[in-house]
Structure 1
Amino acid sequence: MSYFSDLGLAEPILRALETKGYNDPTPIQQQSIPALLEGRDLLGIAQTGTGKTAAFSLPSLHRLAADPQPRKPASCRMLVLSPTRELAAQIADNMKGYAKNLKLSVDCVFGGIPISKQARRLVPGVDVLVATPGRLLDLIDNRALTLGRVEIFVLDEADQMMDLGFIHALKRVANLLPAKRQSLFFSATMPKSIEDLGKQFIKNPVRVEVAPQSTTVERVEQFVSFLNQPEKQALLSLTVRRLLAEKQLDRGIVFTRTKHGADRVARNLAAAGIDARAIHGNKSQAQRTAALEAFRQGSCPILVATDIAARGIDVSGVSHVFNFELPNVPEQYVHRIGRTARAGADGVAISFCAPDEKPYLRDIERLTKVKPAVMPLPENFLADAARLPAPSRRPADEEHEARRDHGRGRPGAGRGEGGRSDGGRRDGGRGDGARRDGGRSQPARGDAPRRDGTAAPRPERRPDERVAADRNGQDRRREAPRSDGAKRVDAPRADNARHEATGEAAAKRRFRPRGPATTGQHRNKVRRVV
């Protein structure tokens, strides 16, 4: 049996590990730490939850402490890049714990919070900086950080970083790093195409692979239930309620593919009497932090998340993972169920598979070489599901997101329908005379009121007329020939300053000063022009 004391780490680091209760290194740590202490580049592949963070943190902190250097303004000696905010914050917290007996500073920067505060923290310099790519480049562009003194460069979750659109940011960061540096790549999965791409950033790396690529943790029991998509919410609510009542579920994570779906599932669980919170990219950083903290403390037993949480949420006691929707990328399944069965514990992964998701299931089975056991639907499922609250179709907290995704006004409405910015539906564009507050104004031209108070139907436009949208998104009639051959000219609009009654008025308005004249000479000049 091997111990951390056998790996040659500094005594202050060993004391910090003893405080955390870490005695035996994991396989990825046993094989990585000696090579990293020698200064070699490394490509590490291991299942999620096996201790990759400590594998690169411990030897890096040892090397920095063995060669103390004064901090220089707006610089760092070690840079760790992470794809998500949650993972970056987790890495920084772990490294602060490992370095608490060392005279090394650790900081973390990511989006969602004011950049000015982070820039001020970096003014004196820092030894270890954990960052997400976007915020890192923002700080560099604002001249709040330079990378010329980086000695150790770490890329965690390398496959996701390069495979999900971060490749251009990585290339830019790599060009800013000094050529002489130690580079470390760690990931749970490493397809060959991503590995070949990673070789552009690391030189002659030591490859450490303690488990086959894309395999799942053996201690996770995997199940799948086949049902229709509309039945998933009822099955999830009934299953979670039963597991909580039987005290089999400590903490559970429910994964969805979309942000709106995560909000909807969380609301439906809450309606069924289950405390659940959602976390995804549309949530503010304060909301994401609060939800994760409540889940970590146990006050909220269910966390509903998109794949942003599949990597980086290291919360002890996660006993169950529910795949409400199967991922269309099979590698994400590995990371999802890796949130349970951590640190030697056991876990359960339950997937809900609709008929159109069976191809995703086959891809997952082909990748993981594991076929989940079929979990039949519970008895009296339909009767029990009928007693649950009806699923929420349009949650209130999704309204703003849906309007933003689908355009102005109500979802699906075109610009000519005059959607309100506050979500209320305007009765129409120019021809319908809609008011700004969403209420119905007096009928517009052609909508003369009847004696009974109702509006007569508006006469239809002639076929030879066309409708064009101007810059304000309002409809405007183009000039169309009349039956007598003359051009028809629309009457000027009172609410549009560009439609002046005469050319003289337009000329006066064009030369009229916007504010009070500053000098008598300017005032006289304007008077002569008008």
Structure 2
Amino acid sequence: MPTFSEFGLPTAVVNTLTAAGIEEAFPIQAATLPDSLAGRDVLGRGRTGSGKTYAFLLPLVARLAANPAPRKAGKPRALILAPTRELVTQIEASLAPLAAATGLNSVIVFGGVGAQPQIDKLRRGVDIVIACPGRLEDHVQQRHADLSAIEITILDEADHMADLGFLPPVKRLMDRTPKDGQRMLFSATLDGGVDVLVKRYLHNPIVHSVDSEQSPVSAMVHHVLHVDNASRFDVLTDLAASPGQTIVFARTKYGAKGLARKLNSAGVPAVELHGNLSQNARTRNLAAFSDGTAAVMVATDIAARGIHVDDVNLVVHADPPVEHKAYLHRSGRTARAGADGTVVTLMLDDQVSDVRSLTRKAGVNATVTKFRGGTHPVLQEIAPGERVFSGAIVLDVPAHQDNGSGQRGAGAARSGGNRSRRGGRPQGGGRSQSGHSEGGGRSQSGGRPQGGGRSHTGRSGAARTR
């Protein structure tokens, strides 16, 4: 793969990447950078975890730094729209060292937190706004933000924004940006609402497609465990207590909350992530999972797209998703940027037909194992290693305080549960790319891939990627 020094990026940018051990470009980056750096509109198709974040951050920073301009109150020069608060935060984390190296600044804009700090930063003048559509539209309507000076607009995870119903505010925001500005759109799929955005806002775009939505399934091992109601939670607990970081998906917010509580009661430190939590609780819980304080994150589909956590090598669908796109999005939390991963679906008797249809449409050839009660050798095959039950996560929400979920005293992790899942298994797996923007992959600290995939003695570590 080409190195970033070959693309004509500013020396400060290349040095910042090199200092973080990032030297070789991923395919989506190598494909799009020549055109995006030249100012062309770019349409990039690549699944989450393919390296899209740097594919748009690098040309954005390079182009703004090459043409410095005084900051004006409320009038940013670049706009990045993303579907979730977590993704906005993680894009900012990837941008921060690049912006610092080139003298640029940014603000993140989303709901669920106070608006005034965002307004204050906008009034002081920023170069780059990274935002969810709803809150940014509020600022625009209240004249705290003016998009008439936008030079570069980026739509990240465009298909997810369409799925979440964000197309109307996205269109209204795009209509306020100059028609002659550069626009880049990145998406895992290009159907439906995404195609509408492409035709309306991109001018003669260069199209780069490095993989399909289904391409990650080849890097994953898929299992379907046909269980009964009596053994479902025992199986889930066994998998959750294995070495490594695990994401468990539930269909509903209350289901996620209930599973997280039951796992904690069983001694497996778990946090929850869903829409009923306040933004502060979501941020704390994600941080606890990211740093290994929590062994497990139990999430609804809010986490299926747009959050990128290192070291996730096991995804468990405690509740099978409704359709195959959700299966692929959820499963994409593992096997990121070249690493391997394992995906497990728990299937009850009345779900057999639905799960068969789901895996067929997703292009998945899953190993099906049927058992009733007790343990099964397949659980050690799926997740090798000693099961550890170190105690529940300590919550920092007082019992009398509502954490924003409608429930009292359940929500944000502090630092309890003395079990860290990092270091408890063989390390390896991928190209390290600073920031949390795009999943785990091959380590670049030594230049070439190191390890990768699942070890027979435990799950291998996944590095931070872009």
Q: Which TM-score tier does this pair reach, normalised by the shorter chain?
A: 0.7 to 0.9
Amino acid at match of 2:112: G
Give the aligned CA root-mean-square deviation in angstroms: 2.4
Amino acid at match of 2:339: A
SS at match of 1:129: strand
Measured in 1, the distance between the counterparts of 2:349 and 2:143 equals: 53
Measured in 2, the distance between the counterparts of 1:186 and 1:298 equals: 30
Measured in 2, the distance between the counterparts of 1:372 and 1:106 equals: 44
SS at match of 2:200: coil
Query: Superposed, which structure 2 residues align to 1:312-331 within 5 Å?
Result: 312-331=306-325
Q: Relative to structure 2, which stretch is displaced further, 340-349 or 205-214?
A: 340-349
Measured in 1, the distance between the counterparts of 2:262 and 2:59 equals: 46
Q: Which of the numbers 254, 257, 262 marks the counterpart of 2:256?
A: 262
Structure 1 residue 337, shift from structure 2 partner: 1.4
Can you list the C-alpha shifts for 1:122-152, whole angstroms capped at 9, x where unaligned?
Answer: 1121111100011101111221111111111
Measured in 2, the distance between the counterparts of 1:348 and 1:378 equals: 22
Change (3 A) 1:356 1:83: farther
Structure 1 residue 197, shift from structure 2 partner: 4.6
Query: Superposed, which structure 2 residues align to 1:244-263 within 5 Å?
Result: 249-263=243-257
Q: Assess if the C-alpha contact under 8 Å between 2:214 and 2:363 holds in 1.
A: no
Corresponding residue for residue 199 of structure 1: 199
Amino acid at match of 1:250: G
Corresponding residue for residue 271 of structure 1: 265
Q: Assess if the C-alpha contact under 8 Å between 2:250 and 2:317 holds in 1.
A: yes
SS at match of 1:88: helix
Query: Superposed, which structure 2 residues align to 1:76-225 within 5 Å?
Result: 76-191=76-191, 194-225=194-225
Corresponding residue for residue 40 of structure 2: 40
Measured in 2, the distance between the counterparts of 1:191 and 1:228 equals: 38
Corresponding residue for residue 393 of structure 1: none
Corresponding residue for residue 440 of structure 2: none
Number of equivalent positions: 386
Percentage identity across aligned positions? 39
Structure 1 residue 8, shift from structure 2 partner: 1.6
Measured in 2, the distance between the counterparts of 1:190 and 1:328 equals: 21
Change (3 A) 1:230 1:39: farther
Change (3 A) 1:308 1:2: same
Structure 1 residue 210, shift from structure 2 partner: 0.7
Measured in 2, the distance between the counterparts of 1:224 and 1:330 equals: 14
SS at match of 2:319: coil
Q: Assess if the C-alpha contact under 8 Å between 1:270 and 1:276 holds in 2.
A: yes
Q: Assess if the C-alpha contact under 8 Å between 2:217 and 2:363 holds in 1.
A: no
Structure 1 residue 196, shift from structure 2 partner: 4.2
Q: Assess if the C-alpha contact under 8 Å between 2:277 and 2:404 holds in 1.
A: no
Query: Superposed, which structure 2 residues align to 1:53-64 within 5 Å?
Result: 53-64=53-64
Measured in 2, the distance between the counterparts of 1:351 and 1:218 equals: 17
Amino acid at match of 1:308: I
Over 3 Å off, 4+ runs: 228-231, 355-360, 375-379, 396-403
Measured in 2, the distance between the counterparts of 1:181 and 1:400 equals: 41
Change (3 A) 1:264 1:40: same
Can you list the C-alpha shifts for 1:371-425, whole angstroms capped at 9, x where unaligned?
Answer: 211134377349xxxxx9xxxxxxx99997499xxxxxxxxxxxxxxxxxxxxxx
Corresponding residue for residue 487 of structure 1: none
Amino acid at match of 1:367: K
Amino acid at match of 1:318: V
Q: Which of the numbers 342, 345, 356 marks the counterpart of 1:351?
A: 345
SS at match of 2:216: coil
Matched, 1:337 2:327: no
Corresponding residue for residue 375 of structure 1: 369
SS at match of 1:53: helix
Measured in 2, the distance between the counterparts of 1:379 and 1:117 equals: 53
Measured in 1, the distance between the counterparts of 2:67 and 2:403 equals: 52
Q: Assess if the C-alpha contact under 8 Å between 2:42 and 2:206 holds in 1.
A: yes
Change (3 A) 1:367 1:189: farther
Amino acid at match of 2:274: H
SS at match of 2:100: coil
Can you list the C-alpha shifts for 1:3-35, whole angstroms capped at 9, x where unaligned?
Answer: 111112111110111122111100000001111
Corresponding residue for residue 6 of structure 1: 6
Amino acid at match of 2:148: G
Measured in 2, the distance between the counterparts of 1:153 and 1:229 equals: 49
Q: Assess if the C-alpha contact under 8 Å between 1:46 and 1:188 holds in 2.
A: yes
Structure 1 residue 63, shift from structure 2 partner: 0.6
Change (3 A) 1:320 1:378: farther
Change (3 A) 1:280 1:230: farther
SS at match of 1:30: helix
Measured in 2, the distance between the counterparts of 1:230 and 1:200 equals: 53
Measured in 2, the distance between the counterparts of 1:48 and 1:363 equals: 23
Q: Assess if the C-alpha contact under 8 Å between 2:220 and 2:335 holds in 1.
A: yes
Task: Point out where structure 2 has 5 or more consecutive residues left out of the alignment.
Answer: 377-388, 390-399, 409-466
Q: Assess if the C-alpha contact under 8 Å between 2:276 and 2:404 holds in 1.
A: no
Measured in 2, the distance between the counterparts of 1:164 and 1:158 equals: 10
SS at match of 2:124: coil
TM-score between the two structures when normalised by the length of structure 2 = 0.78
Can you list the C-alpha shifts for 1:356-380, whole angstroms capped at 9, x where unaligned?
Answer: 4345434433433222111343773
Corresponding residue for residue 295 of structure 2: 301
